[in-house]
Structure 1
Amino acid sequence: MHSSYDAVVVGAGQSGLAAAHHLRTRGLRTVVVETGPEPVGSWPHYYDSLTLFSPAKYSALPGLPFPGDPDRYPHRDEVVDYLRRYADTVTADIHTSRAVTEVDHDGHLFTAHTDTGHSYTAPRLIAATGGFATPNTPTLSGQGDFTGNILHASRYRSPADFAGQRVIVVGAGNSAVQIATELAETASVTLASRTPVKFVPQRPLGRDIHFWFINSGLDSLPIGHLISEPPTAPIFDTGRYRGALAAGKPVARAMFTRLEADAVIWPDGTRSKVDTIILATGYRPNLSYLGNVGALDDTGTPMHRKGISTTHLGLGYLGLEWQRSLSSASLRGVGRDARRLVKQLDAAATRNSKGRNEIGIKR
């Protein structure tokens, strides 16, 4: 089955829904194609205790405020419910349980093919599968000989599964620290990282730090193209996590050098037995469906500037880490990026269409 639209959006998480909102605002017939069974992105798959690090009043998509106390930090399940409600407000066609497997491009139109046999054609395509779809799982030295369990943080749900175990959490970001701290209540936990954990006060001078980010203009500063390697985000902390590490729950150590049977070897040569290693080592973009059109570099990274493809007219990206600003991959920032991206893609598609018409007239 084949359908034609003005725009195809791949992914119905926060990025795809924000894109659809702005596309429909401009009167463009839009389809959003989502792999999962509902338009909520990856949120249902995150760990049970996950809460946003930005208050509700800064965590909304365009056109629909986040409900409830604006100063609270919403829980994972609240975000899922919010995205469901948001999807109901978007007048685009949202097709779920269909994975885009390949995209073709004929110089003017993109055709997105799915695993169900459906295909969608449009002069505009937005890849909104974001930067958090594919777990980054580095291979550890000696991993083949390790007899314990190794899992990515994407598979972690709650401390109950690890009660009484010796656990090492690898990472220095917010997820690593949050997971390690809650695990330390029921397990023996070490937080291993290549760089020291950096803390930032959650509420400097009595205001949430996002108030200062937004009102200073730092939150939307277009410096993403200047970042060659995204830095590890600091830990926004009210004192809980700094206090936990100071108390040794979890114990913070420099990254181990290798694995050996049922243990890890630390830089000083000491050996510690371990049952489970949890890799809070981030994610990579899931853009393999663009592999055949030449839009990605040799590492699978999209070639773009501030979300606009540098290889294909009419192609854009949303939700990538540091795509345009420090908030590009967040609920609070993706709507701003989506508005700018849709405006630029619309103008580019119009120029492309006009050029084709002029060529046709000359002929």
Structure 2
Amino acid sequence: MADRSDVVIIGGGQSGLATAHAARTMGLDAVVLEAAGTPAGSWPHYYDSLTLFSPARRSALPGRPFPGDPDGYPVRDEVVAYLAGYAAALDADIRTGHRVDRVTVTGSGEYEIGTAGGAALRAPMVVAATGAFSSPHRPGLPGLESFTGTVLHSADYRRPGPLAGRRVVIVGGGNSAVQIAIELAAAGSRVTLATRRPLRFLPQRVLGRDTHIWLQRTGLDTAPWARPLLAGGKGTPVMDTGAYRATIATGNPDRRPMFTRLDGDQVEWADGTRERVEVLLLATGYRPGVDYLAGLDGALDTGGRPRHRGGVSPACPGLGFAGLEWQRSFASATLRGVGADARHVLDRLRKGPGPVRAAERARR
């Protein structure tokens, strides 16, 4: 007989923990299933020097401030430690080492959640909180299959030592791409950022305050209509104090238009020139890892991405999501923003049609 709870939360990173906190405040019996041995999500797998681009005072989950200097910018290990402390203080039913491999619907209309280890749980509500950063995206590039150099995704990168002194082309122009490029250049590598659009630097501070403070005070942080302002424009936005722009202006790393093709150990640039490259590093982002929902009709689109409206599935009553990029706003996939989305999703699921209401009526 499968265990039963009010809601099963898949994923024990920042999204899952924020959802568990919201469930407790609503009086819901929740179980969190986390594949790894600790509840920290993707954070332990990022590169060593990763630094948040929002200050600690704007990087906390609900109910627990981020420790240390509130105006400092936390690094990866500080976030991992924060999440571990948050999970311990939450006093929730968090089951690590439980990788979910399928979600199905029972004859009564509830969900059955199965794990790779054979465990099964049932619940009228499921929140897929594996976030937007669990599956590295590796785009198809002309000639990639013929490239004889080393191909890495930023998910594989940890520190500059193994690549020091080598010719590196980084595909992508977001914050991580720029941070890694500058770190490698400082270690003696010759580095180029290859992007389809120019880099777009955004000021880290405006009038003496961090940009994220202004985003919150103006409402742009959580306003759905702000997407064209914050995500639009020409080029990928990069938060910068001025140091990134100045370093790139020195020529190492440099930025060039996207190459036209790869050929053996050669890269052919847009101007027709060719050169030997030793390492191709794909800083091309991530996609939600939600393959376990493939058996639910209408849960995913044809590309395998979640179908949702503000984090709520329009096709599967009782199914929600947490931690997706632009799920409801600019802040949706951030430490500071996922809590509000989690509350919104659980509230909508509880009020929605189908097995959720039936289960609540049965408990009365």
- TM-score normalised by length of structure 1: 0.94
Match of 1:211 in 2: 213
Match of 2:302 in 1: 298
Distance of 2:330 and 2:256 partners within structure 1: 28
Shift of 1:301: 1.2
Match of 1:181 in 2: 182
What code does the residue aligned with 2:27 have?
Answer: G
Structure 1 residues 309 and 115, CA gap change in structure 2 (3 angstroms): same
The yes-or-no answer on 1:252 pairing with 2:255 is: yes
Match runs of 1:110-129 below 5 Å: 110-129=111-130
Secondary structure of the 2:24 match is helix
Kindly indicate whether the alpha-carbon contact (under 8 Å) linking 2:104 and 2:296 is maintained by their aligned counterparts in 1: yes
Match of 2:277 in 1: 274
Structure 1 residues 23 and 111, CA gap change in structure 2 (3 angstroms): same
Shift of 1:355: 9.2
Match runs of 1:108-257 below 5 Å: 108-185=109-186, 186-223=188-225, 233-257=236-260
Shift of 1:73: 0.2
Structure 1 residues 355 and 269, CA gap change in structure 2 (3 angstroms): same
What code does the residue aligned with 1:137 have?
Answer: R
Secondary structure of the 1:220 match is coil
Shift of 1:348: 2.1
Equivalent in 323, 326, 350 of residue 322 of structure 1: 326
Shift of 1:139: 2.0
Count residues in correspondence: 357
What code does the residue aligned with 2:103 have?
Answer: V
Secondary structure of the 1:184 match is helix
Match of 2:340 in 1: 336
Match of 1:361 in 2: none
Q: Deviations over 1:106-150 (max 9, x none)?
A: 363111100011011101100000110000001221122211011
Kindly indicate whether the alpha-carbon contact (under 8 Å) linking 2:198 and 2:236 is maintained by their aligned counterparts in 1: no
What code does the residue aligned with 2:276 have?
Answer: K
Secondary structure of the 2:336 match is helix
Secondary structure of the 1:57 match is helix
Percent identity, aligned pairs only? Answer: 52
Match of 2:31 in 1: 31
Shift of 1:350: 8.5
- TM-score normalised by length of structure 2: 0.94
Shift of 1:2: 2.2
What code does the residue aligned with 2:55 have?
Answer: P
Distance of 2:102 and 2:180 partners within structure 1: 35
Q: Deviations over 1:50-96 (max 9, x none)?
A: 01100000100000000111000001000000000000122321111
Kindly indicate whether the alpha-carbon contact (under 8 Å) linking 1:64 and 1:86 is maintained by their aligned counterparts in 2: yes
Distance of 2:121 and 2:158 partners within structure 1: 36
Distance of 2:211 and 2:226 partners within structure 1: 20
Distance of 1:214 and 1:52 partners within structure 2: 17
RMSD: 2.0
List gaps (5 residues or longer) in structure 2: none
Q: Deviations over 1:194-247 (max 9, x none)?
A: 1110001100111100011000000010248989x9886511101111001111
Distance of 2:291 and 2:162 partners within structure 1: 33
Distance of 2:284 and 2:355 partners within structure 1: 42
Q: Deviations over 1:27-54 (max 9, x none)?
A: 1111000111110001000001101100
What code does the residue aligned with 2:207 have?
Answer: L
What code does the residue aligned with 2:158 have?
Answer: R
List gaps (5 residues or longer) in structure 1: 359-363
Shift of 1:353: 2.9
Distance of 1:64 and 1:357 partners within structure 2: 34
Structure 1 residues 225 and 68, CA gap change in structure 2 (3 angstroms): closer
What code does the residue aligned with 2:180 have?
Answer: I
Secondary structure of the 1:53 match is coil
What code does the residue aligned with 1:60 have?
Answer: A
Kindly indicate whether the alpha-carbon contact (under 8 Å) linking 1:225 and 1:305 is maintained by their aligned counterparts in 2: no
Match of 1:261 in 2: 264
Kindly indicate whether the alpha-carbon contact (under 8 Å) linking 1:108 and 1:352 is maintained by their aligned counterparts in 2: no
Kindly indicate whether the alpha-carbon contact (under 8 Å) linking 1:255 and 1:266 is maintained by their aligned counterparts in 2: yes
Match runs of 1:93-112 below 5 Å: 93-106=93-106, 108-112=109-113
